[in-house]
Structure formats: C-alpha cells, structure tokens
Amino acid sequence: MQKIRVRAHAKINLYLDVVGKREDGYHNLETIFHSIGLHDDVIIRKRDTKEITVRCEHPAVPSDASNLAYRAAQRLSDAVGGIAGVSIEIQKRIPVAAGLAGGSANAAAVLHGVNELFGLGFSQETLMRFGAQLGADVPFCLHGGAALGTGIGDELTRLPALSDLPLLLLNPGIEISTAAVFKMLNFSLTKPENAGIIIRTLMEKVDVLSISEGLYNLLEVPVFAEYPEIATLKTELSTQAGCFGALMSGSGATLFAVMQDSESARRSESYFKNRVSFCTTTVTSPVGVYIKD
C-alpha cells in the first residue's frame, strides 16, 4: 500500500463547563463531545525520502512543522526511531479556528492513517496517548462518536452516540483563538440550574429533546461579551422553525442547532446561506476518523 485516504471528522460540544484552573495554566473541563458528518479528507502517501511534507490549499493552514498533522507524523516517526517520509495532503472543509477541532481531527487522521499505512501496530490507547501530547481534542477525534471529556478534555468516557441527528452549522467568519477565550474567563460566573442535566440524560437515555434543552457552553459568556453579533445570530438561529436548541461549539465562533428533521435544517440553511461565511447541514457521526480506501 502506497497511500491511504482518511476522513477526519469535526466535533461539536453539546455541553462544556470549565471546572477549574490548573497550576500549569490549562483549565479542567467537563464536556460532552460528539463527532459530526462534516469532515476533511487527509491523503497520506509514502515518500522515497525521510521528509514529512504537508500541503493544504486553505490560506490559514500552515504547511510547516507547526501543522498538527505534521506533528502527528513526526510523533509516530519518533516513537519507532524513524519511518520513511510521508506527504500529507489536507482537503479542508472544516472551518479553521472555529471550535470544531479541525486541526485536531487532521492530527488524529494522521496518527490513525500512518499507523495503518506502515503497519506500525500501535493500539488505539497508545495512539490516544500520543494524541494528548499534541492537543487536548486529539484523543477525542481518534475516539469518535460521543464521549464525556474530563481533565483538559483528554480523559474520555464513552457515551451512546446519537444516530443521524440533523444539525445546522453557522460560522459568522470570526476566527477565535481558544487561548484568548480562556484568558477572558471569569470564574465568578453562576451556572444555570439545568447545567449538568445533559450529562445525566445522555448517560441514562438518548432523549433528543432533553439533550437539546440541556445544551450548555460556559465559553459563550466571554465570547458573546466580546462579539455581541454572535449572540444575536444565536437568538435568530434558536427561533427558526424546527430548531430544538442552539449552542456555540467549543471556543467558537461556530454555532450549531439541533433540528427536528433534515427538511427544517435545509430550510434554515437557505435562510442563512448568503449572510454568514459558512453554513451547512450535517448530522451526528458515530466515528471520528475513518479509512476511505
């Protein structure tokens, strides 16, 4: 086998609470991740030389060693004392710096794909440990489906995945740095009374209406304070016909809505399409990375 094509799925957070600040500067979270159908394609080819190269046409994605996909290939190469080089081509569809873990998904796809392409034989657990060294969301992107994330989001407990739940995603075109959002956090914030309900609901039964009512993301507070136009967009999204609930994903700025059915998702997509920089319908996905051929 000379090349492998891996689908790298984006994630949303159905619930995100920050439960404390750690001495190393990171924050401890309680979050529920879910993979979604929206994905990048990552094509990995063996090279004759030992070099790792990355190519992506998106202008905001680096092609050097700072690309998370490059770092993932380097991590595996280091673990086995050097492998033959690889060229990595990223066909980007996931908006960048948008709270959808695009970079982390690419890194997960490279860990999974290079492991298969070279028959390295690392277990999923070991790949997830390597992933955690690259970024807090990488282990979930390898895990896929639905999971409760604790620690910095890298300690995962599997939850039942929601099958083909219709979603609408909107991004107003504001790139937000995750680090900047955490800096703006104010720990005296009080939580709404239903905070935590979604975790219990998902653990006990898969009830879409209760899940939609329990959608919660503490990071909306600092992000909406800085960018009130995102809050306005969320209100408009929430009042669309067939919208069960809406939330900002991760540190934003992407908003998602859980929709009653694919027809109402498509109707709202046409409503927003010409007004935001990115708008698409998708569904929840049971997988995070997937080998296509």
| Cα 202–chain centre separation | 19
Helix axes 102-117, 68-79, angle to 10 degrees: 30
- Between residues 100 and 142, which has the closer beta carbon with respect to ligand ATP? 100
- Between residues 14 and 243, which has the closer beta carbon with respect to ligand ATP? 14
Distance of closest approach, residue 280 Cβ to ligand ATP, in angstroms: 15
- Between residues 83 and 100, which has the closer beta carbon with respect to ligand ATP? 100
Helix (H) or strand (E) holding 33: strand 27-46
Helix axes 124-134, 102-117, angle to 10 degrees: 140
Q: Which DSSP letter does residue 81 get?
A: T
Pairing of strands 52-56, 27-46: unpaired
* 273 in active site: no
Among candidate residues 141, 82, 140, the one with its CA nearest the CA of residue 106 = 141
Is it true that the peptide bond before 97 is cis, omega within 30 degrees of 0? no
Binding site residues, ligand ATP, CB under 6 A: 60-62, 67-69, 90, 96-104, 106, 137, 178, 250-251
- Between residues 102 and 245, which has the closer beta carbon with respect to ligand ATP? 102
Distance of closest approach, residue 253 Cβ to ligand ATP, in angstroms: 9
Distance of closest approach, residue 16 Cβ to ligand ATP, in angstroms: 10
Tokens linked to 80: 């086995």
* Collapsed DSSP state (helix, strand, coil) of residue 228: helix
Distance CA 136, CA 155 (A): 9
Catalytic residue among 40, 50, 92, 137: 137
Distance of closest approach, residue 136 Cβ to ligand ATP, in angstroms: 7
Catalytic residue among 11, 17, 154, 234: 11
* 46 in active site: no
Distance of closest approach, residue 101 Cβ to ligand ATP, in angstroms: 4
- Between residues 12 and 259, which has the closer beta carbon with respect to ligand ATP? 12
Catalytic residue annotation: 11, 137
